[in-house]
A and B are shown apart, each in its own frame.
Chain A
Amino acid sequence: MDTFLQTLKDALAIGSLYALIALGYTMVYGILKFINFAHSDVVVLGAWGSLVLSRWLEARTGSTWTTDTPAPAYIGLLVLLAAMVFCGLVGFTIERLAYKPLRKAPRLNVLITAIGVSLFLQNTGQLESLFGNRPRSIPALLPDQTLVSIGRVNVTTLDVVGLGTAVALMVLLEWLVFHTKMGRAMRAVSHNTTTASLMGVPVNRVISFTFVLGSMLAAAGGFLWSLKYQQIGQTADTSWTLLGLKAFVAAVVGGIGNVRGAMVGGLAIGSLEMFGCAYYKSSMADVYVFGVLIVVLLFRPGGILGKATIEKV
Chain B
Amino acid sequence: MLEVRDVSVSYGAIKALHGVSLTVEQGQIVTLIGCNGAGKSTTLRAISGLVKPSAGSIHFEGKPVSRMPPHEIVRLGVVQAPEGRGIFSNMTVRENIDLGAFTRSDKHAIAADREKAMELFPRLRERISQNAGTLSGGEQQMLAIARALMARPRLLLLDEPSLGLAPQIVQTIFKIIRELNAPPPRGAGTTILLVEQNAHMALNIAHHAYVLEVGAITMQGPAAQLAASDEVRKAYLGGR
Q: Min CB distance, A43 to chain B, in Å?
A: 28
* A238 adjacent to chain B (CB < 8 Å): no
B residues near A201, Cβ cutoff 8 Å: 71, 99, 102
A184: contacting residue among B50, B70, B75, B91, CB under 8 A: B91
Shortest Cβ distance from B81 into A: residue: A198
* B179 adjacent to chain A (CB < 8 Å): no
Give the complex CA separation of A47 and B126 in angstroms: 51
B residues near A190, Cβ cutoff 8 Å: 90
Tally A residues with Cβ within 8 Å of B: 18
Is A187 within 8 A of B88, CB to CB?
yes
Is A198 within 8 A of B91, CB to CB?
no
Give the complex CA separation of A200 and B75 in angstroms: 7
Is A195 within 8 A of B102, CB to CB?
no
* B57 adjacent to chain A (CB < 8 Å): no
Shortest Cβ distance from A195 into B: residue: B86
* B95 adjacent to chain A (CB < 8 Å): yes
Q: Min CB distance, A225 to chain B, in Å?
A: 32
Is B88 within 8 A of A195, CB to CB?
yes
B residues near A184, Cβ cutoff 8 Å: 91, 95, 98-99, 102
Is B50 within 8 A of A187, CB to CB?
no
A residues near B102, Cβ cutoff 8 Å: 181, 184-185, 199-201
* B138 adjacent to chain A (CB < 8 Å): no
B residues near A195, Cβ cutoff 8 Å: 82, 86, 88
* A202 adjacent to chain B (CB < 8 Å): yes
Specify the main secondary structure of chain A where it touches its partner.
Answer: helix
Chain B residues touching A, range:
20 to 34
A residues near B151, Cβ cutoff 8 Å: 199-200
* B147 adjacent to chain A (CB < 8 Å): yes
A residues near B79, Cβ cutoff 8 Å: 198
* B26 adjacent to chain A (CB < 8 Å): no
Q: Min CB distance, A199 to chain B, in Å?
A: 5
List residues 254-312 of chain A with CB under 8 A from any CB of chain B. Answer: none
Shortest Cβ distance from B100 into A: residue: A199
* A194 adjacent to chain B (CB < 8 Å): yes
A194: contacting residue among B50, B75, B89, B98, CB under 8 A: B50
A residues near B74, Cβ cutoff 8 Å: 197-200
A199: contacting residue among B50, B89, B90, B147, CB under 8 A: B147
* A203 adjacent to chain B (CB < 8 Å): yes
Q: Min CB distance, A208 to chain B, in Å?
A: 14
* A149 adjacent to chain B (CB < 8 Å): no
A203: contacting residue among B71, B86, B100, CB under 8 A: B71
B residues near A200, Cβ cutoff 8 Å: 71, 74-75, 102-103, 151
Q: Min CB distance, B86 to chain A, in Å?
A: 4
What string of 1s and 0s marks CB contacts (under 8 Å) between A169-200 and chain B?
Answer: 00000000000010011011011101111111
Is B88 within 8 A of A198, CB to CB?
no
Known: A194-B50, A195-B86, A197-B50. A202 touches B71 (CB 8 A): yes
Shortest Cβ distance from A257 into B: residue: B90
A197: contacting residue among B69, B89, B98, B147, CB under 8 A: B69
Give the complex CA separation of A185 and B99 in angstroms: 7
Give the complex CA separation of A185 and B91 in angstroms: 11
A residues near B82, Cβ cutoff 8 Å: 194-195, 198
B residues near A199, Cβ cutoff 8 Å: 71, 74, 99-100, 102-103, 147, 151
Shortest Cβ distance from A192 into B: residue: B86
List residues 31-53 of chain B with CB under 8 A from any CB of chain A. Answer: 48-50
Is B48 within 8 A of A198, CB to CB?
yes
Is B95 within 8 A of A198, CB to CB?
no
Given contacts A192-B86, A201-B99, 15 further A-B contacts (CB under 8 A): A184-B98, A185-B99, A188-B91, A190-B90, A191-B89, A191-B91, A194-B50, A195-B88, A197-B49, A197-B71, A198-B74, A198-B79, A198-B80, A199-B147, A201-B71
Q: Can you give 13 contacting A-B residue pairs, CB < 8 Å?
A: A181-B102, A188-B88, A188-B99, A194-B86, A195-B88, A197-B49, A197-B50, A198-B48, A198-B86, A199-B102, A199-B147, A200-B103, A201-B71
Q: Which residues of B contact A (CB under 8 A)?
A: 48-50, 69-71, 74-75, 79-80, 82, 86, 88-91, 95, 98-100, 102-103, 147, 151
